[in-house]
């Protein structure tokens, strides 16, 4: 899950269980997170499928604190902290960083539409500077079908130039392979080429030339805290990691340089998704594994259900024999009895099972 200090692999935007009075159910939430971790699945809590924007800032903060108190490793978490309010985003992000989370998944401010790149740059810049912590790793969240306001290559370029240590990557939930490829070409492949070139130059230097050319630029205390770049400063990691927003694109994208997926159906199918992530370049049946994942995803994303979130929660209710799991917060609605039976029948037809106990 963690490579070179970065969180990678399969993560679930963990669905949030609710009690009958619509309060978050922390005990079911913790139990589900532990089950996901037991199947090598990281935790992108407070994502879209977590109904994060139906949760208050205080509820998100409470749930994160309870996860940490329950002994769940924060280095396997990437909480969603993006809000329309800079101040709320900063508060949630500081909490995540302070708890040792591997990174934060950050939506752009999405209420005002047609904002320009300058406005979005100022927003993210304010967040980085106000958090003021060298441990901060932001993964920009691009989901135009929902947020409408998107992340552009121009915005990423500006943010990387200013805050190379804080801007760690992105999740692309555009559903458009051409868009993912554009970001991979612009920042992943180009970044690797730059690192390779820097390594070649470094190896070609004599010891004396290295000592003469090697110096540390002194930043002010504030700049050092959030890793602002100045001429000649080199980022120790330098990578920009791209996660794809659906396992349907996992194999093709792993072959092209993405580092994993943050996917809704990882909530119910984590082991199979992780298997493909782990073995994509060695398994003889990688294409068949991908096809099976696609079949499962198609069931949950069917338009015959009111939402994928409701279908995922209904499946958990079915396989845990715990009807309380079906609860969603308005404006979302649960599956009807007939829809729940249809879901159960379709999952049975494809021989789907949730592995509720980890196999040794």
Q: Which of 164, 159, 181 is nearest to 172 (CA)?
A: 181
Q: What are phi and psi of 24, to 5 degrees?
A: -60, 140
pLDDT for the residue numbered 171 = 96
How many CB atoms within 10 Å of residue 107? 24
Q: Which of 260, 220, 226, 194 is nearest to 11 (CA)?
A: 260
Q: How confident is the model at residue 107 (pLDDT cuts 50, 70, 90)?
A: very high
pLDDT surpassing 90 at residue 279: yes
Burial 25-46 (b: 16+ CB within 10 A, else e): bbebbbebbebbbebbbbbbbb
How many CB atoms within 10 Å of residue 269? 27
Contacts of 254 (CB under 8 A, 6+ apart): 277, 280, 281
Residue 94 parent element (H or E): helix 86-98
pLDDT one-digit tens code per residue, 142-197: 988 888 788 999 999 999 999 999 999 999 998 888 899 899 999 986 555 454 54
* Cα distance between residue 334 and residue 77, in whole Å: 27
Mean pLDDT, residues 5-22? 96
pLDDT surpassing 80 at residue 295: yes
Q: Which of 251, 244, 265, 255 is nearest to 312 (CA)?
A: 265
- E strands in the chain: 2-3, 6-7, 9-12, 42-43, 104-106, 138-142, 167-172, 241-244, 260-262
CA 106 from centroid of its chain's CA atoms: 9
Q: How confident is the model at residue 106 (pLDDT cuts 50, 70, 90)?
A: very high
Q: Averaging pLDDT over each range in 65-74, 212-221, 246-255, which range is the top one?
A: 65-74
Mean pLDDT, residues 202-224? 40
- Contact between residue 80 and residue 295 where contact means Cβ atoms under 8 Å apart: no
Residues belonging to the chain? 360
Q: How confident is the model at residue 282 (pLDDT cuts 50, 70, 90)?
A: very high
How much is the pTM? 0.86
* Cα distance between residue 140 and residue 168, in whole Å: 8
* Cα distance between residue 153 and residue 132, in whole Å: 24
Structure tokens at 326: 């079906």
Kindly report the average pLDDT of the chain as a whole number: 87
The percentage of the chain sitting over the pLDDT mark of 90, rounded to a whole number, equals 76
Q: How confident is the model at residue 355 (pLDDT cuts 50, 70, 90)?
A: confident
Q: Which of 142, 129, 54, 64 is nearest to 98 (CA)?
A: 64
* Cα distance between residue 201 and residue 287, in whole Å: 40
Indicate if the alpha-carbon torsion angle 243, 247, 252, 255 is positive or negative: positive
């Amino acid at each position: 899950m963690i490579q070179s200090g970065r969180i990678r692999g399969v993560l679930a935007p963990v669905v949030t269980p609710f009690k009958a009075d619509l309060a978050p159910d922390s005990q079911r939430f913790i139990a589900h997170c532990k089950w996901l971790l037991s199947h090598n699945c990281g935790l992108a809590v407070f994502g879209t499928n977590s109904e994060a924007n139906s949760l208050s800032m205080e509820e998100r903060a409470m749930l994160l604190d309870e996860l940490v108190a329950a002994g769940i490793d924060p280095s396997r978490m990437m909480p969603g902290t993006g809000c329309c309010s800079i101040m709320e985003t900063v508060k949630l992000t500081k909490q995540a960083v302070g708890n040792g989370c591997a990174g934060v998944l950050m939506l752009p401010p999405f209420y005002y539409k047609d904002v320009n790149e300058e406005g979005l740059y100022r927003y993210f810049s304010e967040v980085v500077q106000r958090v003021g912590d060298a441990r901060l790793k932001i993964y920009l969240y691009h989901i135009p079908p929902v947020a409408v306001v998107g992340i552009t290559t121009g915005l990423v370029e500006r943010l990387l130039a200013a805050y190379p240590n804080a801007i760690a990557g992105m999740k692309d939930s555009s559903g458009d392979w051409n868009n993912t490829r554009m970001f991979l070409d612009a920042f992943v492949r180009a970044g690797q080429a730059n690192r390779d070139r820097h390594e070649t130059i470094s190896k070609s230097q004599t010891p004396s030339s290295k000592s003469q050319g090697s110096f540390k630029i002194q930043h002010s205390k504030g700049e050092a805290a959030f890793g602002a770049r100045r001429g000649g400063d080199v980022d120790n990691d330098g990578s920009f990691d791209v996660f794809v927003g659906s396992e349907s694109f996992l194999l093709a994208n792993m072959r092209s340089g993405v580092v994993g997926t943050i996917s809704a159906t990882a909530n119910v199918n984590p082991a199979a998704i992780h298997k493909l992530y782990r073995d994509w370049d060695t398994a003889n049946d990688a294409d068949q594994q991908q096809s099976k994942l696609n079949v499962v995803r198609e069931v949950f994303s069917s338009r015959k259900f009111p939402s994928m979130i409701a279908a995922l929660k209904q499946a958990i209710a079915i396989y845990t024999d715990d009807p309380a799991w079906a609860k969603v917060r308005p404006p979302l609605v649960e599956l009807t009895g007939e829809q729940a039976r249809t879901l159960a029948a379709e999952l049975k037809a494809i021989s789907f099972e949730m592995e509720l106990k980890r196999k040794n």
